[in-house]
A = this chain, B = another copy of it.
Amino acid sequence: MPNIFVALTHYPVVNKSGDIITSAVTNLDLHDISRAAKTYGVKNFYVVTPLKDQQVLAQRIIAHWIDGSGAVYNPARRRALETIKVVDSIADVVEDIRRIANQYPKTVATSARRYPSSIGCKKFRTILETERPHLLIFGTAWGLAEAFISEADYILEPIMGSTDYNHLSVRTAAGIILDRILGV
């Protein structure tokens, strides 16, 4: 199994104007990305928000599918949502992974923009073979804040299709990236 963890963060991300904001939790982000994470053997899927009311909302959604009537209705969904941990910050994610993996993870930022240091999914596949833990980080809203991206150990190049249109949802981008780096 690959030594990989995924985080979806709601801060620090930017809005349309480039201002740093905290975005709201989207129900289907939890479902779609946890299902993709489970499909590709990701160890945990961290949902990151510093807002307590948003943490409570995320936990309520998760509890419905893990302990509530959703767990009986759809056990497969339960298995996916069980991979989720709701936390305050990426710093907390990194500490949690250190506890689990006995080593700090390398961080990998994603962006719809290409940077001089961006690496492709093929390169990232070979990096994962080192077995060191890696944390793949997705941003909500208009994406991760620049300062945050520049602090990551790696930046993953954007998913380009066969056109110049690159406005995938974070749910779809996460699925495609996991398929490219972990698909058989």
Instruction: Annotate A52-73 by CB proximity to B: 1 below 8 A, 0 otherwise.
Output: 0000000000000000000001
Shortest C-beta distance, A18 to chain B (Å), equals: 15
Q: Are A161 and B28 in contact (CB under 8 A)?
A: no
Q: Is the CB of A162 within 8 A of B80?
A: no
Supposing A179-B180, A180-B179 touch, asked if A38 and B163 sit within 8 A by C-beta, the answer is yes
A162 B2 Cβ-Cβ under 8 A:
yes
Residue of B nearest to A174 (CB): B172
Residue of B36, B74, B184 touching A172 (CB-CB under 8 A):
B36
C-beta contact mask, A156-182 vs B, less than 8 Å → 1, else 0? 000111110111110111111011101
Give how many A residues have a beta carbon under 8 Å from the other chain's beta carbons: 40
Distance in Å from the Cβ of A144 to the closest Cβ of chain B?
18
Contact mask for chain A residues 1-19; partner B; CB cutoff 8 A; 1 contact, 0 none? 1100000000000001000
Q: Which residues of B contact A80 (CB under 8 A)?
A: 165, 167
| A35 cross-chain contacts in B, Cβ below 8 A | 165, 167-169, 172
Q: How far is the CA of A2 from the CA of B183 in the complex (A)?
A: 24
Contact A161 B182, beta carbon cutoff 8 Å: yes
B169-A28 in contact (CB<8A): yes
Q: How far is the CA of A171 from the CA of B170 in the complex (A)?
A: 11
Contact A171–B168 (Cβ < 8 Å): no
Among residues of B, the one whose C-beta sits closest to the C-beta of A73 is B16
- On chain B, the residues within 8 Å of A73 by CB distance are 16
* Residue A96 CB within 8 A of the other chain: no
Please tell me if A124 contacts chain B, counting CB pairs below 8 Å: no
Which residue in B31, B171, B183 is a CB contact (below 8 Å) of A162?
B183
Quick check: is A101 within 8 A (CB to CB) of the other chain? no
**A175: chain B residues within 8 A (beta carbon):** 168, 171-173, 175-176
